[in-house]
Amino acid sequence: MHTAFIVLIIGALAILVGFIIVTEYIFKRKWNIPRSKISIFSVERKLVYTAIEIGLFGLLILIFIIMTFFVLITESVDLSPFLSLLSSVMFTLFSAVLSTFRAFEEWKENKSQRRYYHDIAAAATFISIATLMGLTHIIYL
Q: Report how far residue 72's alpha carbon sits from residue 49's, in angstroms, rounded to the nearest whole number.
A: 35
Q: Report how far residue 51's alpha carbon sits from residue 40's, in angstroms, rounded to the nearest whole number.
A: 9
Q: What is the pLDDT of residues 15-37, one digit of tens each?
A: 999 999 999 999 989 998 888 77
Please give the pLDDT value at position 2: 81
Q: Is the predicted pLDDT of residue 97 greater than 80, yes or no? A: yes
Total structural domains within the chain: 1
In this structure, is residue 129 part of a structural domain? yes
Mean per-residue pLDDT for 124-128? 93
Q: Is the predicted pLDDT of residue 84 greater than 80, yes or no? A: no
Please give the pLDDT value at position 71: 73
Please give the pLDDT value at position 76: 63
Nearest to 119 by CA among 130, 103, 108: 103
Q: By residue range, what is the domain housing residue 115?
A: 2-35+45-140
In this structure, is residue 131 part of a structural domain? yes
At 83, the amino acid letter reads L
In this structure, is residue 40 part of a structural domain? no
Please give the pLDDT value at position 134: 82
Q: What is the pLDDT of residues 2-19, one digit of tens each?
A: 888 888 889 999 999 999
Mean pLDDT of the chain: 86
In this structure, is residue 58 part of a structural domain? yes
pLDDT grade for 57, boundaries at 50, 70 and 90: very high
Please give the pLDDT value at position 117: 92
In this structure, is residue 29 part of a structural domain? yes
Please give the pLDDT value at position 79: 66
Written as one string, the DSSP assignment of 29-64 is IIS--PPP---TT-TTS-HHHHHHHHHHHHHHHHHH
